[in-house]
Amino acid sequence: MEAGDAETQRDRLMEALRAYGGTYAEFSRRFAAWLGLHSTDAVALVELLTAEERGTPLSPARLSERISLSSGATTALLNRLEQAGHIVRSREHTDRRVVTLRSSAEVQALAEEFFDPLADRLDAMMAQYPPELLQRFEAFLDHLRTTMDEHLDELGA
């Protein structure tokens, strides 16, 4: 592939990823509106739900990193979510100072109601592609994220 072709392909891929990011953000915005939350609160809630689904619940510090908020802003956000009954803070670690964030059963049910139809559509769409291609795409996205994270680290805060 020639340099101009590689640049054109990179530009097309990055534009597609930007468009996907915009659509993902729109889902987050609509989920927030549906729950009657601020969009940042809904983004945090999705992060918590996703982490729990993977079996790796988040601490407040890890959530703060994932949504790029200061610890103070994250504390205020968690207070709002806890007061609304969407999350519970627990001390499950042997080190009792470590707080684990868990979503409530009620918000889990609401998230399933909102996102399950999309998950069904995504499953049907992905079934059209061979597993090997999806694995390669997953590896590509992971490498892309790692490359961008490395560059962000070089840029500093």
What CATH number is associated with residue 117? 1.10.10.10
Assigned domain for 82 exists: yes
Whether residue 156 lies inside any domain: the answer is no
Residue 143 lies in a domain: no
| Whole-number Å distance between alpha carbons of 96 and 125 | 44
Show the DSSP H helices in the chain as ranges: 3-35, 39-53, 60-67, 71-83, 105-126, 131-155
Is residue 122 scored above 70 in pLDDT? yes
pLDDT at 156: 85
Is residue 108 within 8 A of residue 88, CB to CB? The reply is no
Q: Is residue 16 part of a domain?
A: yes
Nearest-CA neighbor of 86 among 58, 106, 71? 106
Asked whether residue 137 is domain-assigned, the answer is no
Exposure letters 23-56 (e unless 16+ CB within 10 A, then b): eeeeebeebbeebebeebbbbbbbbbbebbeeee
Query: Does 126 score more than 80 pLDDT?
Result: yes
Q: Which residues pair with 103 in a beta bridge?
A: 87
Residue 131 domain-assigned?
A: no
At residue 138 the predicted structure's pLDDT band, cuts being 50, 70 and 90, is very high
In this predicted structure, the answer to whether residue 62 has a pLDDT above a threshold of 80 is: yes
Domain count, the chain: 1
Structural domain boundaries, residue 28: 3-126
Q: Is residue 99 part of a domain?
A: yes
**Within a domain: 145:** no
pLDDT at 100: 92
pLDDT at res. 132: 97
The structure's pTM equals 0.83
